[in-house]
Amino acid sequence: MTPTRGLMREGPGVEPVFHAFVHRVLFVQPIAGSNVTYIVDTGDGTGLVRPMLLADGGIVEGASPTEQHRLTLTARADSSLESSPNSPTAQKFEWRLESLHAAKDAGRPPTARVMYSFIEDEFFDEDPRVELPRARAHRGALLGERHARSVDPSVDPAALTPLTRYLGRLTMAGSTVRRYVGMQTTVLREMKTEEERAEALREFFGISIPQKDLEFIRGRGAELVQS
């Protein structure tokens, strides 16, 4: 099992704009004597929910049959690395994970969004120890401005059993908490103040933020703007 670092996609535009290497992807080679490699996503949003073969064009099901994930091996448009001497084609060394969602109209193609990219270089524990504090502190960065992380140490891996139902997601984006199950989206809570948002974090996500710490959101991109 080998960790690598991924570039998180920062904007919703057509051309992906990537942030720094802050997302962890694991390379797993489960077959003895074979270099067949799978990737496992340790993390967030609409990323992978199951292992995926590291193969160009590979597709796996997401949290429900209406969601898929696709891997493509590509080159950065701004790359100056040539695939061969004097070749006009940039070298393909960057993997991209796309999230595909079925359209509600059966006659329309699925929507595709690049979630993040990663390379096959191996990273070690010292890399995140050095880089992540800087990424969190950087104003404008995803980890420093818009994302929250919480680890539940009470989960016992031995007690986990395979699911026989679809997975869903709870998300908090700005002032809204939503639940996603397949193509169904439900708004669960609208918030107007930081106090209301702290209450929703505690109720829906189990994240407790002391009242005295709410002031630290001021001036950051995730702050609720008062009208």
The strand pairing partners of 114, in sequence order, are 98
Domain 1-146 has CATH 2.40.128.150: yes
The strand pairing partners of 60, in sequence order, are 69
Cβ-contact 148, 194 below 8 angstroms: no
The CA distance from 106 to 102, in Å, is 8
Any idea which of 10-24, 59-73, 163-177 has the lowest mean pLDDT? 10-24
Interval 33-85: pLDDT, tens: 999 999 988 665 567 888 999 999 999 988 888 889 999 998 776 666 666 67
Sole residue written with tokens 């001497």: 85
Q: Is the pTM here over 0.85, yes or no?
A: no
Q: Where are the domains of the chain?
A: 1-146, 168-222
How far does Cα 85 stand from its chain's mean position? 36
Cβ-contact 18, 9 below 8 angstroms: yes
